[in-house]
Amino acid sequence: MKMKKLLLGTILLALAIVVPIPTMAGVNIGIGISLPPPIVFAAPPELIVLPETYVYVVPDVDVDIFFYNGWWWRPWEGRWYRSRYYNRGWAYYNNVPSFYFDVDPGWRGYYRDHNWYGHRWNYERIPNQRLQQNWKSWHNNRHWERHGTWGVQSYQPRPQQQRQELRNQRQQQYQQRPEVQRHRQQRQKQQRQYQQQRQPRVQKPQAQQQRQRQVQQPQHSRPQGKPEGEEGEDRK
């Protein structure tokens, strides 16, 4: 009995080593999708909030890292990843987050010049800990509208219609990026392969199946002997 338990434990241990944990858990992480390279932070990052949004960005690194609605977000090679942490735990996100089309592509230049469309931008650098403690209440209370229009002097936010037109324009520009098109082609190829694997075998026509069954069925013949009726004549 002890030997059986020991053998069973050895088999389970081997499976745990050989089979990746996400596969064992039944999580579909996508075929051929790699994770972005790690970013090393010497200390928790400081962020700024982009005008007319509740999107926070890390301005002190060369790659785009956003914080929005309780998640950290990061684009890489035409794909998107998110995590609850700024420096680990990235997971592939199979879509473009909706907030991204509210992000002005030129925000880094505006940040460097302290200028937002011709207006002085006195942005506030927000420590990560303070952001984690307050981002939800700031969003619910519309804190940045009431707090000096995001630090932009004498600035009037754009009308809703103009903002929507900008969103549509940025979405079209995003779809034209070479890395985004490459990723879309890869995903389409993977989906076709997946669908081909799941397709059932081609069923034979019903009439053909019936003919085959008839051929395979044995022929039941009458036993050899006297023809029907002769036995009664003998008894006469």
pLDDT at 233: 47
67 and 152 fall within a common domain: yes
pLDDT at 23: 28
21 and 137 fall within a common domain: no
pLDDT of 83 above 70 = yes
Is residue 141 domain-resident?
Answer: yes
Is residue 217 domain-resident?
Answer: no
Is residue 104 domain-resident?
Answer: yes
Q: What is the pLDDT of residues 159-178, one digit of tens each?
A: 999 999 999 999 999 999 99
Q: What is the pLDDT of residues 185-207, one digit of tens each?
A: 888 887 787 788 887 765 555 66
4 and 54 fall within a common domain: no
The C-alpha atoms of residue 174 and residue 96 are separated, in whole angstroms, by 10
Nearest residue to 49 (alpha-carbon basis) of 117, 151, 141: 151
72 and 174 fall within a common domain: yes
Is residue 208 domain-resident?
Answer: no
8 and 95 fall within a common domain: no
19 and 113 fall within a common domain: no
What is the CB-side half-sphere exposure of residue 83 using CA atoms within 13 A?
14
Q: How many domains does the chain have?
A: 2
Find how far residue 118's CA is from the centre of its chain: 38
Residue 3 belongs to what domain range?
Answer: 1-30
